[in-house]
Structure formats: structure tokens, C-alpha cells
Amino acid sequence: MPSRGRRVHRENKSDLLNRLKRVEGQIRGISRMIEEDEYCVDILNQVAAARAALGKIGLMLLETHARGCVVRGIKDGDEEATVTELMDVIKRFV
């Protein structure tokens, strides 16, 4: 099985954390909207926006994983386990 010790590339870390902080703010905003009995469609729009933002974060992580960890795993001769792990994560993600 591929090593779990590999980490997010440092150049993406700051961007990912900033995006997650924005999603946190969106989630807090959705909670506030529900507490204040805002219009359902407005809340649903915010839920869709938060979901899309999380999807983008996931795609960024998936790309980082494919370009880094997957390439390394294949180069290290661990093709089958690396591809199996990649397919498993793609199935969960989509």
C-alpha cells in the first residue's frame, strides 16, 4: 500500500487553508441564515456555493495527489497499490 506519510505540497498549503477558511465562513453564514429564518432558496444557494467550494478544494487535493504521490508510487514500483488507492479515492470523491 502507498505510504500515508506524504503531505500536501507546500505551495498549495496556503491556498488550500485560505479556501477552507472561506468555506468555514460560508457554513457559519448558513447557520446564521437558518437561525434567522431566512428564505429557503437563499439558504440553498449558499449551501450550493459551499459545496462547490469544497469540491474545488477536493479537486486541488486530488490533482496534488496524482501529480505527486501517484507519480512517486508508480516510480517506486508500487503501481497496483497506487492505482487502487487512486481509484478508491476518486470513487469516494465523485
The model's pLDDT over 60-94, given as tens digits with 9 standing for 90+, comes to: 999 999 999 999 999 999 999 999 999 999 999 99
Angle at 20 between CA 69 and CA 84, to 5 degrees: 25
Per-residue confidence band for 39, with pLDDT thresholds at 50, 70 and 90: very high
Radius of gyration (Cα) for the chain, nearest Å?
17
Q: Domain map of the chain by residue range?
A: 13-93
What integer pLDDT is reported at residue 5 of this predicted model?
52
The architecture in CATH of the region 13-93 reads Up-down Bundle (1.20)
pTM greater than 0.75 (yes/no): yes
Q: How far apart are CA 11 and CA 89, in angstroms?
A: 22
- Asked if 43 and 6 count as a contact pair (C-beta separation under 8 A), the reply is no
Can you tell me whether residue 5 is helix, strand or coil?
coil
The model's pLDDT over 3-25, given as tens digits with 9 standing for 90+, comes to: 555 566 677 899 999 999 999 99
